[in-house]
Amino acid sequence: MMTKINSVRPSPIAGTWYPGNPDRLQATVEACIANADLPGLPGEVIGLVAPHAGYRYSGPVAGYAFKAVQGRHFDRVAVISPMHQYYPYPILTSAHQAYQTPLGEIPLAEDLLEEINIRLTAGVNVPLSAIANDQEHSLEIELPFLQVALDGPFELIPIMLRDQTRQLSKALGQTLAEVLKGDSSCLLVASSDLSHFFPESTAHQLDRRVLDTLAEFSPERLFDLKDSGRGQACGLAPMAAVLWACKALGANQVTLLKYDTSAASTGDDSSVVGYGAAAITRPS
């Protein structure tokens, strides 16, 4: 049993990574979504890949991902992200009962988190560790986009990976699919940036390999790219876990929606971070 505390997680990044004023935040997110021009999608969107930098840098790319679910309602949303801070646990969730953003509170789906915890512990002997007052930006940064894009409230399944091994990513993906099987009202979101701090020409090469492999719906080959040094993403294991889960839930296609780098906002192409957006669909 995970230890939970009866409280709301306050935002450590509102006002820095994204606007802290609710009206400004709403307008910023709405503009990012409105400016996205999507291709036709080949089925029902059940998963997304979205970047997680400050909105100044990656917000326009994230807008493409969340436009793919604009106006839809989901009872639950699982956001799978890396954990950038050090904790002595391989896979983490929140010990709080809700997340706070300037746009309101998002309650956790505590029943599903407990089931995920039980299955991971039984399957690979790795429990979900619940932590309080974490500083992780990569999960929270997706929440205002979800609050603006989706129709109505939803419960959150927050999962953060310190251990980004192939084994745990696959186990998490399979566990998510088992827990969500038969649930047509859950969206899966993988939070990941791409290459970090290369010249833009090098970043384009590294990122294109990752995005092409993502489009091939190949979580195994994502890890092959990482292991060979031919591609990188700080949320590669979350991406792969969401691919494995979506494939088991009937998805058969990944559509790349947008790619850009931090140079688009900074003007500095000597050292950039790459950002990609994608939608994962199953036949309607």
The answer to whether 161 and 51 have CB atoms below 8 angstroms apart is no
CB neighbour class for 181 (10 Å; exposed up to 12, middle 13-18, buried from 19): exposed
Going by their DSSP bridges, the two strands 186-191 and 104-107 should be labelled as unpaired
Q: Provide the token pair at 87.
A: 């904790």
Instruction: Give domain status of residue 2, yes or no.
Output: no
Domain for residue 106, yes or no?
A: yes
- 3-class SS of residue 170: helix
Mean pLDDT of 70-97: 97
Q: Is the distance from CB of 93 to CB of 159 less than 8 angstroms?
A: yes
Residue 2: is its pLDDT beyond 80? Answer: no
Q: Are 249 and 167 in contact (CB under 8 A)?
A: no
Domain count, the chain: 1
Is-above-0.95 flag for pTM? yes
Indicate whether 22 belongs to any domain: no
Structure tokens belonging to residue 216: 């091939």
Structural domain including 277 reads 28-282
Asked whether residue 86 is assigned to any structural domain, the reply reads yes
In a domain, 10, yes or no: no
Question: Which segments of the chain does DSSP mark as H helices, in order?
Answer: 22-34, 55-67, 110-124, 137-140, 143-149, 166-180, 200-215, 219-228, 236-248, 263-266
Please give the C-alpha separations between residue 252 and each of 47, 174, 220, 284, in angstroms, as whole numbers.
11, 16, 15, 11
Average pLDDT over residues 102-131: 97
Helix (H, G, I), strand (E, B) or coil at 39: coil
Q: What is the pLDDT of residues 206-248, one digit of tens each?
A: 999 999 999 999 999 999 999 999 999 999 999 999 999 999 9
Residue 44 host element (H or E)? strand 44-50
- Round the average pLDDT of the chain to a whole number and report it: 96
For residue 190, give the CATH number of its domain: 3.40.830.10
